[in-house]
Structure 1
Amino acid sequence: MIMRRRTLLGAAALLPFGARIVSAAPPAETITPALIEAAKKEGKVSYYTAMDLSVAEPMAKAFEAKFPGIKVAVERTGAERLFNRLAQETASNIKRCDVVNSSDAAHFITWKREGWLQPYVTVDIAENVAPEMRDPDGAFANQRTHLSPMAYNIGLVKPEDAPKAFNDLLDPKYAGKLVKGHPGYSGTIMTATQQVARELGWGYFEKLAKQKVMQVQSATEPPKKLEAGERAVAVDGSDYLFWMARERGVPIEVVYPVEGTPLISNPMAVFKAAPNPNAARLLFAWIMSGEGQEFIVNLSGQYPANLKVKAKAGRPPLSSIKTLREDPVEVEKTADEIKAKYARIFKV
């Protein structure tokens, strides 16, 4: 079963972030001894995510160390595959997902409309997450923010020859040297594709497809292809993985295109059919806490949702980067069209 994304009816309650309506969110809660005890009795929690395993698994281990006796099962796949998987499991009455996190914010519009999300608000969310970064009804909140920039391997491209804009990638000198992710698999790339197509037009992708681009699935793969030296320039990808590679000594340079860099929010929610509801709320609450947010930031350098947590030292402030406007509502309307156009243009 593949869930088709239906056009919104225009109801304000379906807007993902910052909707100006009367809130129906439940009262904000804290992590209490009673919640911890109930979660330990369940003993496990499943975390469905599109975040790379190099971050998701250490985060799960940190949670397990914080709350001994609760095991975290990380289910990682591309966000668009995750979307279809949850549709298939729900249609088959399979209840496995406790907490879901996607790099395609549009998914949460659909899931909220379908009634699949359990509203849950923590004190950290209510007090320290900006209103535009959380659902007004408490159905979900942004867990973290990352970008989808360009990048290049300094060992394969001289800085003076490196691209500075998306349109620079159309230069014949980059033919056969590019790698990019696919919007049919990756939520990051789905979101980025919508933004770039809106700004530059689909004609840009038609020209880019003539550059003999290596097509991979996940936004986590272009950084790895650059690191391995299989391609010289990444058209897109998850910025935190480029930065993590740099910290390991890989000669990668991150490029924020002059046209603007796609911005990707990554909402998270408790699934209403969660088989481990107490452990689900505990994991959700811990990830959104200062401690959980600092762990993600310190490990990967992604930008925190919790306003009390500072960005990682050495990363450019998000406010200093020209970013493209994220539009989950438009992605929700046009996702199937985006996938079809992209597959036709790149013949994948």
Structure 2
Amino acid sequence: MTAVAICATLTTSLALPAVAQTALDNLITAAKSEGVVIVDTATTRFPAESGPNLSKAMSEKFGVDIKVELTNSAPAPVMTGQIIEEAKAGIAPAVDLVSVPLAFTKALNENGAIENIDWASLGVDPSLISKAGNSVWVNTVARAVVYNVNLVKGDDIPTKLADLLDPKWKGKIAGPGFGDAYGMISVPVLGEEKAAEWLKALYDDQGLAVISSMTDVPNRVANGEFMIGMGVSANYSGLVDKGAPIANAPLEKISGQPYFSFVVHKAPHPNAAALLAYFMCCTAEGRKALLDNMGWSMFDTEGSEQYALGSNGRGVTPSEDWQLNEQARVGKAMDKLIGR
């Protein structure tokens, strides 16, 4: 069954559990015939066993033998730009499934670069489906504040973003080198005006060290170069598991960046890609496999780092309208505040 045929089947089916199960069964059959799904994880690298472990978990859930291949290409802006250019030129993409912040899907949709899978007809919870209807929420990256446990202790451990403006931290804080990250760290928690004031003070008065790679920030906190960092959680790259002296600050409120998965238009294995996305977003087994093998989860995923940071209402995410229509603008404004 082709991707177009599956989309038509899902679109014409009624939103009833039995019909949703029939649509899922059809998708499983079509995915089985493709046998492989290629996932572009941008610049994030995962252990070699992650793909095979996801394959095994999906096989146990659906009774299919589908090879999950994880590949790296480029940062999300470059990667999505390439997908758009391929779509405009009619070039077949090399990958099937991509997960990005929702803001990136706006241009992708405008250029017809996302396959029109009808997730709602598969019975997916509406809260996990983008308003465009063709991507699903699979992960929330906690925009955390981290600290070196050997250098920051007791009452000095920050509990809110304003604590980073204490003069004692001058020259001792590191953050990522792009404004969008600071927008996500601060705006959902403080509001746009106060967030801009906070970042300006952090950069101008506190001597914020701007690090080009966001994932390198916790590394440099762990090695003692800086006392405090922000952008990703302490164990985002497995530092805590490796025994590094780093932890997440117990913030009263913490923001998260939602990541949505979509099937690339004219993907070589669209049905296998759709099944994997469904597995990741919408099944308990898939969420566990994501957490165990990629560290991906939601604020409500018990046992996850995200849950420890944002459960009980402490984790907040911006509205879809803000992500699509304001996030890019705010990111550019924040760039100026850090000299970019």
Interval of TM-score (by shorter of Structure 1 and Structure 2) = 0.7 to 0.9
Contact 1:183–1:193 (Cα < 8 Å) also in 2: no
| C-alpha RMSD of matched pairs (Å) | 3.5
Equivalent residues in 2 for 1:142-157, closer than 5 Å:
142-157=137-152
Cα drift, residue 272 of structure 1: 1.7
CA shift digits 1:51-73 (9 cap, x unpaired): 84237x54323234556673514
Q: 1:291 to 1:325 in 2, by over 3 A?
A: closer
| 1:4 equivalent in structure 2 | none
Contact 1:170–1:207 (Cα < 8 Å) also in 2: yes
Once residues 122 and 174 of structure 2 are traced to their aligned partners in structure 1, the CA distance between those partners, rounded to angstroms, is 37
Matched, 1:83 2:80: yes
Matched, 1:62 2:60: no
Contact 2:113–2:264 (Cα < 8 Å) also in 1: yes
Once residues 282 and 132 of structure 1 are traced to their aligned partners in structure 2, the CA distance between those partners, rounded to angstroms, is 18
Matched, 1:293 2:287: yes
Once residues 189 and 89 of structure 1 are traced to their aligned partners in structure 2, the CA distance between those partners, rounded to angstroms, is 31
Q: 1:32 to 1:106 in 2, by over 3 A?
A: closer
Contact 1:99–1:271 (Cα < 8 Å) also in 2: yes
Cα drift, residue 134 of structure 1: 1.4
2:318 to 309, 314, 326: 326
| Count of residues paired in the alignment | 311
Percent of paired sites with the same residue: 18
- TM (normalized to structure 1)? 0.74
Once residues 136 and 68 of structure 2 are traced to their aligned partners in structure 1, the CA distance between those partners, rounded to angstroms, is 23
2:116 to 116, 119, 139: 119
Once residues 235 and 77 of structure 2 are traced to their aligned partners in structure 1, the CA distance between those partners, rounded to angstroms, is 20
| 1:167 equivalent in structure 2 | 162
Once residues 273 and 78 of structure 1 are traced to their aligned partners in structure 2, the CA distance between those partners, rounded to angstroms, is 22
Q: 1:297 to 1:37 in 2, by over 3 A?
A: closer
SS of 2:308 mapped into structure 1: coil
2:255 to 227, 252, 262: 262
Q: Which residue identity is paired with 1:296?
A: L
Cα drift, residue 80 of structure 1: 3.4
Structure 1: 5+ residue stretches without partners: 1-21
Once residues 66 and 130 of structure 2 are traced to their aligned partners in structure 1, the CA distance between those partners, rounded to angstroms, is 31
Equivalent residues in 2 for 1:1-348, closer than 5 Å:
28-30=23-25, 34-40=29-35, 44-50=36-42, 52-54=44-46, 58-65=49-56, 66=59, 70=67, 72-75=69-72, 77-94=74-91, 95-102=93-100, 104-120=101-117, 126=123, 130-135=125-130, 138-183=133-178, 191-192=184-185, 194-195=187-188, 196=190, 198=192, 200-210=194-204, 211-238=206-233, 240-241=235-236, 244-258=238-252, 260-288=253-281, 289-299=283-293, 302-304=296-298, 311-312=302-303, 315-316=307-308, 318-348=310-340
Cα drift, residue 124 of structure 1: 11
Once residues 184 and 293 of structure 2 are traced to their aligned partners in structure 1, the CA distance between those partners, rounded to angstroms, is 24
Cα drift, residue 238 of structure 1: 3.8
Q: Which residue identity is paired with 1:170?
A: L
Q: Which residue identity is paired with 1:268?
A: S
- TM (normalized to structure 2)? 0.76
CA shift digits 1:19-72 (9 cap, x unpaired): xxx99xx954247663244212xxx432123584237x5432323455667351
Contact 1:59–1:295 (Cα < 8 Å) also in 2: no
Q: Which residue identity is paired with 2:33?
A: A
Q: Which residue identity is paired with 2:266?
A: A
Q: 1:240 to 1:58 in 2, by over 3 A?
A: farther
Q: 1:331 to 1:63 in 2, by over 3 A?
A: closer
Q: Which residue identity is paired with 1:192?
A: I
The runs of at least 4 aligned residues of structure 1 exceeding 6 Å deviation read 122-125
Q: Which residue identity is paired with 1:269?
A: F
Q: 1:324 to 1:64 in 2, by over 3 A?
A: closer
Contact 1:49–1:101 (Cα < 8 Å) also in 2: yes
Cα drift, residue 287 of structure 1: 2.8
Cα drift, residue 167 of structure 1: 1.2
Contact 1:51–1:76 (Cα < 8 Å) also in 2: yes
Cα drift, residue 294 of structure 1: 0.8
Once residues 256 and 141 of structure 1 are traced to their aligned partners in structure 2, the CA distance between those partners, rounded to angstroms, is 29
Contact 2:84–2:111 (Cα < 8 Å) also in 1: no
Cα drift, residue 115 of structure 1: 2.9
Q: 1:311 to 1:30 in 2, by over 3 A?
A: farther
